[in-house]
Amino acid sequence: MFQSSHAQTHRGTVRTINEDAFLELPSKGIWVVADGMGGHAAGDVASQLVIDTIDNRVELLTSQEITLEILVQALKESNTQLQQMKDSRFEGKVAGSTVVILWIQGDTYHLLWVGDSRGYLLRNDMLMQVTKDHSQVNDMVDEGVLAADDAENHPLANVITRAVGVDSELNVDVKSDRLGVGDVFLLCSDGLNKEVSDKEIEKALQPGNIIDAGMALMHASLVRNARDNVTCILVKHKKYIDNAINHNDVDATIPLFI
């Protein structure tokens, strides 16, 4: 494979348990972040179930045998299981999870998501949010009721409109496009983007060392008293494997946010 990746998770400084979960399958070109719904019956169970279901679905498949339909069906299977567990295990209470999946096959990337876990792409030193939050404030922005700049700090910023396990039917959004040499993807739970701005994320990713960048982003969220669990996966795409040392990855200075 022509991707390198780095993943990490932390419960933050406020929460007593970590309801986030992640999956790294670089040999299959799959990376996943799932964020259990805080305040519900068992967010940690929900997020891990989503991760395990995806893992089980692709475990015996080659990277060429994986399809978008298989990944979507894994999420729908997770949704059905969590709906059944609501009555059998959680006394009618909802256990749900947001999720974002990056799947790279050949020269194409696919992002699949439900909820407000995000997928970013850094290309030519410019950061863009590829996914679109399924949230109440985002709906308000689309309707022209709320300015985009005011969305992040709005009192309803934590209210999501879609999650795995909440409704009997699950709609999964998908974005597919061509890969570019040097593309860097960031998958994260909302615990990261609550504490670190998009501009700061962009600055951290620009030097190109994904391990140092990931550590800097996690440090930034923690020193700001990370109110939520924080999980992030960085994936860097290279079209060709370098025979020589990439000096940008060896001596790259990463900004530290405080």
Query: Does 153 have pLDDT greater than 90?
Result: no
Looking at residue 88, what is its pLDDT? 78
Q: Answer whether residue 252 shows pLDDT above 50.
A: no
pLDDT surpassing 50 at residue 248? no
Domain that holds residue 20: 3-238
User: What gap in Å lies between CA 84 and CA 164, rounded to an integer?
Assistant: 12
Q: Answer whether residue 117 is part of any domain.
A: yes
> pLDDT class for 175, splitting at 50, 70, 90?
very high
Please, which pLDDT band fits residue 245 given cuts at 50, 70 and 90?
Answer: very low
Q: Can you say whether the dihedral through the CA atoms of 125, 131, 137, 141 is positive or negative?
A: positive
Tell me what the pLDDT averaged over the chain comes to: 88
Instruction: Tell me what the mean pLDDT of segment 36-41 comes to.
Output: 69
Q: Which residues are paired to 98 by β-bridges? A: 35
Choose from 74-78, 152-156, 246-250 the range with maximum mean pLDDT.
74-78
* Lowest mean pLDDT segment, chosen from 14-18, 133-137, 240-244: 240-244
CA–CA dist 181, 190 (Å, integer)? 27
For residue 41, the model assigns a pLDDT of 60
Residue 152 has pLDDT above 90, yes or no: no
Helix (H, G, I), strand (E, B) or coil at 18: coil
Q: Tell whether 246 is covered by a domain.
A: no
Higher pLDDT, 58 or 15: 58
Does residue 176 lie within any of the structural domains?
yes
User: Span 240-254, mean pLDDT?
Assistant: 43
Q: What's the pTM value of the predicted model, to 2 decimals?
A: 0.89
The reply to whether 218 falls in a domain is yes
**Average pLDDT of the residues in 214-239:** 94
Express as a percent the part of the chain with pLDDT over 90: 71
Residue 217's CB is within 10 A of a number of other CB atoms, namely 26
Residue 254 lies in a domain: no
Q: Flag whether 253 is in a domain.
A: no
Amino acid identity, position 190: D
Rounded CA-CA distance 3/51 in Å is 20
- Residue 83 maps to which CATH number? 3.60.40.10
pLDDT at 256 over 60: no
Residue 256 lies in a domain: no
Q: How many structural domains comprise the chain? A: 1
Residues in the chain: 258
Residue 232 forms part of a structural domain: yes
- pLDDT recorded at residue 146: 74
pLDDT tens, position by position, 125-148: 999 999 999 988 777 877 777 776
